[in-house]
Amino acid sequence: MLILSLPSLNVMKMTDFHNREIKKHVAAIHISNSLTFTQQKASNILLLNAYDDLLTKEKHSIRVKDLANLIGFDSHNLDVLKDALRGLMSSVLEWNLLSDDGKDDGWEGCPMLSGVRIRKGWCTYTYSTMLREKLYNPEIYARINLAVQTKFSSGYALSLYENCVRFRKIGTTGWISLDLYRKLMGIPEGKYADFKRLSARVIRDPIRQINNSSDIYIEDPEYQREKRKVVAVRFTISDNPQLSLFKFGTQKEFQISELVQENKQEKSELLQRLLEYGIKEIQAIKIIQQYEEPYLQDNLDIVDRDYQAGKVKNLPAYTIAAIKADYRPTINVYETKQAEKKQAAKKQAERAQQAHERLEVLRNEFQSHRLQQALDHLSQEKEKNLRDRFMQKKKGDRFFARWVKEGFKHRVVQALYRSFAAEELLEKPTDEEFMDFVQDKGEDLKALQKTAGKMR
């Protein structure tokens, strides 16, 4: 297992680093967020690394390899890291956008990092004095779990999580104006102006990620309207007890989660489902190792159906019994044959569609090949004459005039010219010509046509 040598963390295992929570001042959360997803994750890692020594040391260091691994990118690609650090130095954080009482507490701002140096495999960085004092004395703070951070795949999800997690005990964020929400999520002016797109990409998608991957659960958002226009949003937050996988309180729990991460993603999701049904973690892992994923999912569907029907008194025991005895309904010979016929027909239709699409590609390539040959055999005089006739035909076309200003090689001009040239130069090809072309490509035209002819 990778060992981190971090000055402010002594010698800490990566598992312990992931397990830690940042006491992050809300002023550093409720900000006008212009940071990218990578920059957000980097800022949290750097803050946790420096936290214990914020007031006593001006400079803090972390190995580049460890920082890359914790953020989730290739440590050999320093350009990604440099871009993230440049962003942290250049982005001004505007604080106190979302105070508890709604009052104006004044305005403050400064860059997240005041300086960075990468040298000999180490990243050394500094915070401004104002920011160090504010971050180290979080009289009001939110706990940001780094094990949760690694599960998100978008910056919007991480931003929403950070802005909601501090309200876990209160249960609600209160009303947040839509303009302020855009600032908190870091949405550039003019982007997602349509509320439907904003709701889908910056509200509902992040909520789905948070509910599936974090230690909090966000209910469907509430909207405040004025004259049918949405002007504010409110989130209701609670603990997410079903996701015990992310409560890395002990080394044993982390080892279990680490074992799951070595399997495919569907197995990780399957483990989560077994945990929800009340199966102990170690037992759930053994079940996953013993049985195939489709077998388990089918039996869990049966358990879910019976539980919803009120037939289950002890859910964990019933789940184990279903898996061991295989509660899936048996399929008779007739049903099996029908299923096989449907599957065969489906595969045949897929092959026919693929053959049809391949024929279309070959016809287009054949047409382009014939045209290029015809153009290559034109004398300079004939080519000039062809181009003059083309330009004369397009005379008066306003759109064409705009495109051709950028040169005759403009892709739209070239596409129109080649279409014109094909009409002027090419005759209808024979079947034998097309067959020879396809054969030169190493394919069987008759076989393709036969397969494509079976399309439904």
The three state secondary structure string of the chain is CCEEEEHHHEEEEHHHHHHCEEEEEHHHCCCCCCCCHHHHHHHHHHHHHHHHHCCCCCEEEEEHHHHHHHHCCCCCCHHHHHHHHHHHHHCEEECCCCCCCCCCCCCCEEECCCEEEEECCEEEEECCHHHHHHHHCCCCEEEEEHHHHCCCCCHHHHHHHHHHHCCCCCCECCCEEHHHHHHHHCCCCCCCCCHHHHHHHHHHHHHHHHHHHCCEEECCCEEEEECCEEEEEECEEEECCCCHHHCCCCHHHHHHHHHHHCCCHHHHHHHHHHHHCCCCHHHHHHHHHHCCHHHHHHHHHHHHHHHHCCCCCCHHHHHHHHHHHCCCCCCCHHHHHHHHHHHHHHHHHHHHHHHHHHHHHHHHHHHHHHHHHHHHCCCHHHHHHHHHHHHHHCCCCHHHHHHHCCCCCCHHHHHHHHHHHHHHHCCCCCHHHHHHHHHHCCCCHHHHHHHHCCCC
Residue 171 and residue 201 share a domain: yes
Instruction: Look at residue 334 and tell me if it is in a domain.
Output: no
Whether the CB-CB separation of 123 and 142 falls below 8 Å is answered with no
Instruction: Look at residue 257 and tell me if it is in a domain.
Output: no
> Look-up: residue for tokens 């509200």?
203
What pLDDT does residue 70 have? 78
- The residue from 113, 143, 173 where one domain ends is 143
Residue 433 and residue 384 share a domain: yes
The string of pLDDT tens digits covering residues 76-116 is 778 888 888 888 888 776 655 445 444 445 667 778 888 99
Q: Mean pLDDT across the chain, nearest whole number? A: 78
Residue 120 and residue 25 share a domain: yes
Which of 5-9, 66-70, 219-223, 446-450 shows the lowest per-residue confidence on average (mean pLDDT)? 5-9
Q: How far apart are CA 248 and CA 136, in angstroms?
A: 24
Q: Sorting pLDDT into bands at 50, 70 and 90, what band is 30?
A: very low
With a cut of 50, say whether residue 13 has pLDDT above it. Answer: no
Tell me how long the chain is: 456
Instruction: Look at residue 251 and tell me if it is in a domain.
Output: no
Instruction: Look at residue 331 and tell me if it is in a domain.
Output: no
Higher pLDDT, 56 or 389: 389
Q: How far apart are CA 312 and CA 368, in angstroms?
A: 66
With a cut of 80, say whether residue 14 has pLDDT above it. Answer: no
Residue 295 and residue 215 share a domain: no
Q: How far apart are CA 28 and CA 95, in angstroms?
A: 7
Q: What is the CATH number of the domain that holds 13?
A: 1.10.10.10
The string of pLDDT tens digits covering residues 414-434 is 889 999 999 999 988 898 989
Q: Sorting pLDDT into bands at 50, 70 and 90, what band is 34?
A: low
Instruction: Look at residue 337 and tell me if it is in a domain.
Output: no
Residue 132 and residue 26 share a domain: yes
Average pLDDT for residues 280-303, to the nearest whole number?
Answer: 87
Q: How far apart are CA 174 and CA 234, in angstroms?
A: 5
* Burial group, residue 289, by CB count within 10 angstroms (0-12, 13-18, 19+): exposed
What pLDDT does residue 35 have? 65
With a cut of 90, say whether residue 4 has pLDDT above it. Answer: no
Instruction: Look at residue 33 and tell me if it is in a domain.
Output: yes
What pLDDT does residue 116 have? 94
Residue 277 and residue 195 share a domain: no
**Dihedral in degrees, nearest 10, Cα atoms 174, 225, 232, 199:** 120
The residues pairing with 176 across neighbouring beta strands, listed in sequence order, are: 233
Cα 381 from chain centre: 56
| Backbone phi and psi for residue 144, each to the nearest 5 degrees, phi listed first | -105, 115
What pLDDT does residue 148 have? 63
Residue 430 and residue 375 share a domain: yes
What pLDDT does residue 141 have? 41
Residue 2 and residue 137 share a domain: yes
- The residue from 197, 216, 245 where one domain ends is 245
- The residue from 143, 161, 196 where one domain ends is 143
Residue range(s) defining the domain that contains residue 445: 343-452
Average pLDDT for residues 324-343, to the nearest whole number?
Answer: 81
Average pLDDT for residues 229-240, to the nearest whole number?
Answer: 89
Going by C-alpha positions, the residue among 102, 81, 66 that lies closest to residue 36 is 81
The string of pLDDT tens digits covering residues 127-176 is 888 778 777 655 444 445 555 666 677 778 888 887 787 777 788 888 98
What pLDDT does residue 381 have? 93
Other beta carbons within 10 angstroms of residue 123's beta carbon come to: 24
Cα 113 from chain centre: 27
Residue 279 and residue 309 share a domain: yes
Q: How far apart are CA 47 and CA 93, in angstroms?
A: 15
Task: Please count the structural domains in the chain.
Answer: 4
The string of pLDDT tens digits covering residues 340-398 is 888 888 888 888 888 888 988 999 899 999 999 999 999 999 999 999 999 999 888 88
Higher pLDDT, 187 or 379: 379
Residue 4 and residue 137 share a domain: yes
Residue 101 and residue 216 share a domain: no
Instruction: Look at residue 161 and tell me if it is in a domain.
Output: yes
With a cut of 90, say whether residue 323 has pLDDT above it. Answer: yes
The string of pLDDT tens digits covering residues 235-287 is 998 877 555 433 433 333 333 344 444 443 445 788 888 988 988 887 888 88
Instruction: Look at residue 332 and tell me if it is in a domain.
Output: no
Higher pLDDT, 330 or 363: 363
Whether the CB-CB separation of 164 and 218 falls below 8 Å is answered with yes
Residue 132 and residue 11 share a domain: yes
Reported for 287-294, long-range contacts at CB under 8 A and 24+ positions apart, including other chains, are: 287/323, 288/263, 291/323, 293/266, 293/267
Measured at the alpha carbon of residue 329, what is the angle toward residues 326 and 334, in degrees to the nearest 5? 135
pTM: 0.38
Higher pLDDT, 258 or 234: 234
What pLDDT does residue 267 have? 52
Q: How far apart are CA 210 and CA 214, in angstroms?
A: 5
